[in-house]
Structure 1
Amino acid sequence: MPAAGKPIFAIDESSDLPLWVQLRNRLAHLIRSGYFKAGEQLPSLRTLSAEGKINYNTVTKAYRDLEVSGLIVSVRGRGMYVEKNVAVDDSPEAAIDAMAEQCIGEYRALGLSFRDIRRRLDAVVTGMADAAAEAADEKRGYADGKH
């Protein structure tokens, strides 16, 4: 389950997709990427509704659709659980995508636009690439006896 205070879902106000579809797609991705493990209990309807500031009926509709699609199962009186036989994509790309989506979701929860997030991430990646290139050049300089 997500750490306390860490959003698993951020509403995209600019999306043409209905909110319940956005939620369903996000939860399906988190399940398929292994963020939520097979047999793991999902946040309760009320918890997800309250934390995400999403109407209870919207969360219910998303969960119901995930159940119909075979990704989750409802256990009466206990909650919703990830189906035990769900196929998980445990490739490095899926893990990176899940981490990136988590990070972007947290930025969105802070109120940043996708454009602002892209600019910030581009700046971070560029800074890291430049630092790595400088370190490699410096290392080569030591290897060549230039220092």
Structure 2
Amino acid sequence: MFTVDELSDLPIWVQLRNRIAYLIRMGHFAAGEQLPSVRSMAAAAKINYNTVTKAYRDLEQGGLIINVRGRGMFVSKEATAEDNGTDAADAMAEACLRRYRQIGMSYKEAAERVSSIAQAMQNRSTETTDEKRGYWDAGQEG
């Protein structure tokens, strides 16, 4: 559900908040559905539970989730899949594709280029994570 993007300038709690908000807006979590507990989310994502608490608190203040005391966090009834939050990103992607077309690329070439860039970003993220783990592991020896 969530992995930390080591290359992102965003704090981990913001990354988590954004991912959960996106999943709610896309209908992955239905209105009234319970979210994973803070501790289970933290364990699954391998992050501190305080980070999850901060993300949940911000989502609650934004009206996407509600805290039912003693029961957990639930998607609010007001959270809908109608506004999936991707409109602005789609507009930027269209502008990017228009720019590729203006410099002479076909739609297929532009799509391949964007896919290549996404793959490179993913590879860099994986390499950075592996390097940090290697550094951590090396620091634990001896």
Calculate the TM-score normalised by the size of structure 1: 0.57
Identify which of 74, 78, 83 aligns with 2:76: 83
Moved over 4 A (4+): none
1:45 is aligned to: 38
Structure 2: segments with no counterpart, 5+ residues: 91-117, 124-142
1:12 is aligned to: 5
After TM superposition, the structure 1 = structure 2 runs for residues 63-82 of structure 1, keeping only pairs within 5 Å, are: 63-82=56-75
1:60 is aligned to: 53
Identify which of 120, 123, 140 aligns with 1:115: 120
Distance 1:114 1:21, change over 3 A: farther
Q: Secondary structure at the match of 1:87?
A: coil
Calculate the TM-score normalised by the size of structure 2: 0.59
Identity rate, percent: 61
Question: Retained in 1: the 8 A contact 2:32–2:74?
Answer: yes
1:33 is aligned to: 26
The higher radius of gyration belongs to 1
Structure 1: segments with no counterpart, 5+ residues: 1-7, 98-112, 119-147
**1:117 Cα deviation from its structure 2 partner:** 5.1
Question: Retained in 2: the 8 A contact 1:34–1:88?
Answer: yes
- Partner amino acid, structure 2, of 1:37: A
Q: Secondary structure at the match of 2:67?
A: strand
**1:84 Cα deviation from its structure 2 partner:** 1.1
Count of residues in Structure 1 that have an aligned counterpart in Structure 2: 93
**Cα RMSD, aligned residues only:** 2.5
Query: CA separation in 2, counterparts of 1:86 and 1:116?
Result: 31
**1:114 Cα deviation from its structure 2 partner:** 4.4
2:96 is aligned to: none
